[in-house]
Amino acid sequence: MDVESTLKGKLGSQYTKLEKLKNPHVNEFIAKYILHCQPDSVYVFDGSAESVEYFRKKAVEKGEEKPLAMEGHTYHFENYADQGRDTKNTRYLLPEGWDLGKLNSIPKKEGVAEVMGFLKDSMKGREMIVAFFSLGPEDSIFSRSCLQITDSYYVAHSETILYRSGYQNFLKIADKKDFFKFVHTAGELENYVSKNIDKRRIYIDLEENTVYSTNTQYAGNTVGLKKLALRLAINQACHSDWLAEHMFIMASHGPGGRKTYLTGAFPSACGKTSTSMVRGETIVGDDIAYLRIIDGKIRAVNVEKGIFGIIADVNSRDDPVIYETLTSPGEVIFSNVLIDDTETPYWMGKDGECPKKGINHSGQWTPGKKDKDGKEITPSHKNARYTVAISDLKNVDPELDNPEGVEVGGVIYGGRDSDTTVPVEQAFDWVHGIVTKGAAIESETTAATIGQEGVRKINPMSNIEFVAVAIGDYVKANIDFGLNAEKQPMIFSVNYFLKGKDGKYLNGKEDKRVWVKWMELKIHGDVKAIKTPTGYIPHYADLKKLFTEVMKRDYSLEEYNQQFTIRIPELLAKAGRIEKYYKETKNTPEEVFTELTKQKERLLEYQKKHGDYIKPEQLV
């Protein structure tokens, strides 16, 4: 392969952008896929304003996005069958001798042959986009350089909102080949959407740090830098001295102008986004964080600069900041929402009445429309999304682009259970927190989940879907990471879904504002706590004061006792489930069983002394 001739012949004036990089590995990779995919032309994204504007205009010109009435707003539809991450066809390419346990995989030789077959000549009649991005702030020790190849202007446009340009980083890495690579084709299109969904494949090569994606447009399958890159990063981090986590980063504002940064990992539908954007605080990121130890302290960066968020139920009452952004002029991409006759988007849960007709991912829509299986089609898809820049939010934290990240004062692990854990609790120490709160996250399914309600699923660090190593190795990496720091953040658990005997939630939607404020005070020693068998819980007086100051409402002792009763039988049952899970998990570190055993012993000791259900006042 004559790399230089291939590039010059196809890129024309765009070639100078690659020539400046002086990186043979970049050139060889691009030339390989030019010859294989056979695009008519190639455009190189270098992070300039002109490049960004090029993608915006092309996305509309080619019909991948359509403009809305409000300035800067566009919408995009995917194939009716291409509305979410394709977990079945997302597989690791497994080299000979590799063992990834239960992870969904395919022999590398077989998988590469299949996906290369789908990529063959896939860009004939189209333009290949070559884009350079950075996972993390530019020129930062945290960041990973990324090279994206795609034939979708929607994907490229989305990435310019979600990720920082990496072109300058590539200028600095010279001839190094330590960068993530992504190759995507939307495949054959019909009415502007991917047609051959049966050939949708998302294959991950950990050996080569490369992700292939074919015959799909949904961003979770095609925007490689998101959860697909998280898998590559976790694999790297677990074999090194840093962490790649499914975590938000936000700042809680304390007394005297103090600001404390918190990270948090929550499974889907457990309050992650609402906590990252809790009223009165500021946000650094809502989804993915890289953590490193710098000068003995744990610091974190948001690898993204935008949000690809679920839009269902976003409204002005519960989500005032994001709602204002979505209903004001500015750059926003809506996907799979309902568009009415006034070219205004509607989504389920939005303020106001649903239009009586419109167009959505199924085509022309009216209430009661059903799909080919007789299932009613909702106005917007339950996984409908918005893509916005964090800098466009009024609550953006000024440290968003700090290349040194922010110091982590606390780590929050959230789950969903109706009868076991208290609304907020601090772990005894780092290892106890990682094992009994992070590695022990459980999430109950709701009634909408395949008809089964209350099924508890264990999701270590809320990362189970993206961990590209043995779970035991991943937990061990988290334990060791914190122990290597001179100063460890406090670890907390939260549960917003505790219910009373009448089946009603004991927490209000906004109560998390108080739990976050209490955590901030506890980190700085401004409040004391009550020791329980599973950690430290707040004193009533401190919460009563916070509810008055933050929520402007009274907080009764009855509420407190209902929420913070220690439920020994349920906690023992949970400990048993977690222990069973890790006995069946490969490479589980001994620290897990040691901490679980100590926790069970404490629970039994407290049960013997105080009974099955212990009110906080019994422990003061």
CATH value at residue 179: 3.40.449.10
Say yes or no: 452 and 327 in one domain: no
Say yes or no: 94 and 198 in one domain: yes
pLDDT of 37 reads: 98
In a domain, 234, yes or no: no
Residue 526 maps to which CATH number?
Answer: 3.90.228.20
Cα-to-chain-centroid distance, residue 418: 24
Low-confidence ranges of the chain (pLDDT < 50): 447-451
Separation of alpha carbons 267 and 264, rounded Å: 10
Which of 412, 378, 379 minimizes the C-alpha distance to 274?
412
In a domain, 79, yes or no: no
Separation of alpha carbons 10 and 30, rounded Å: 11
- Asked if 238 is an active-site residue, the reply is no
List Cα–Cα distances, 477 to 240, 266, 346, in angstroms. Answer: 9, 19, 44
Identify the H or E element spanning 364: strand 363-365
Other residues' Cβ atoms within 10 Å of the Cβ of residue 359: 16
Which of 28, 33, 31 minimizes the C-alpha distance to 120?
33
Say yes or no: 361 and 487 in one domain: no
pLDDT of 446 reads: 54
In a domain, 344, yes or no: yes
Say yes or no: 548 and 439 in one domain: yes
In a domain, 238, yes or no: no
Say yes or no: 298 and 367 in one domain: no
Say yes or no: 382 and 426 in one domain: no
Classify residue 353 by its DSSP letter: P
Say yes or no: 154 and 300 in one domain: no
In a domain, 80, yes or no: no
In a domain, 81, yes or no: no
pLDDT of 318 reads: 87
Separation of alpha carbons 222 and 78, rounded Å: 12
Taking the C-alpha atoms of 307, 313, 318 and 324 in order, what is their torsion angle to the nearest 10 degrees?
A: 50
Alpha helix stretches (DSSP H) within 385-455:
430-433
367-402 pLDDT, tens digit per residue, is 999 999 999 999 999 999 999 999 999 999 999 999
Residue 367 maps to which CATH number?
Answer: 2.170.8.10
DSSP conformation letters of 80-106: TT--S--STTEEEEE-TT---TTS-EE
Say yes or no: 152 and 268 in one domain: no
Phi-psi sector, 409: left (phi>0), alpha (psi -120 to 50), beta: alpha
In a domain, 203, yes or no: yes
User: Which among 225, 256, 289 is the end of a domain?
Assistant: 225
Query: Model pTM?
Result: 0.95
Alpha helix stretches (DSSP H) within 62-166:
108-119, 153-162
Instruction: Name the 3-class secondary structure at 535.
Output: strand
Separation of alpha carbons 522 and 424, rounded Å: 12
Separation of alpha carbons 346 and 365, rounded Å: 12
Identify the H or E element spanning 607: helix 590-610
Say yes or no: 558 and 453 in one domain: yes
Q: How many domains does the chain have?
A: 3
User: Which among 367, 392, 417 is the end of a domain?
Assistant: 392
CB 186 within 8 A of CB 195: no
Q: Which of 37, 146, 238, 270 is catalytic?
A: 270
User: Which among 392, 419, 444 is the end of a domain?
Assistant: 392
List Cα–Cα distances, 539 to 88, 123, 161, 494, 543, in angstroms. Answer: 47, 63, 43, 16, 7
Which of 614, 549, 551 minimizes the C-alpha distance to 278?
551
| Dihedral angle sign, alpha carbons of residues 578, 584, 586, 592 | positive
Other residues' Cβ atoms within 10 Å of the Cβ of residue 582: 22
Say yes or no: 379 and 440 in one domain: no
Give the chain's radius of gyration (CA, Å): 25
556-582 pLDDT, tens digit per residue, is 999 999 999 999 999 999 999 999 999
Classify residue 256 by its DSSP letter: G
CB 123 within 8 A of CB 95: no
Separation of alpha carbons 479 and 460, rounded Å: 13
With DSSP H G I counted as helix, E B as strand and the rest as coil, what are the percentages for the chain, rounded to 5? 35, 25, 40
In a domain, 72, yes or no: no
> Residue 343: CB partners within 8 Å, gap ≥ 6?
67, 68, 69
Domain span at residue 372 reads 309-392
CB 285 within 8 A of CB 304: yes
231-286 pLDDT, tens digit per residue, is 999 999 999 999 999 999 999 999 999 999 999 999 988 999 999 999 999 999 99
CB 225 within 8 A of CB 308: no
CB 417 within 8 A of CB 442: yes
Say yes or no: 255 and 180 in one domain: no
Phi, psi of 390 (to 5 degrees): -60, -35
Which of 579, 496, 492, 495 minimizes the C-alpha distance to 536?
492
Say yes or no: 91 and 10 in one domain: yes
Read off the tokens for 287.
């989804």
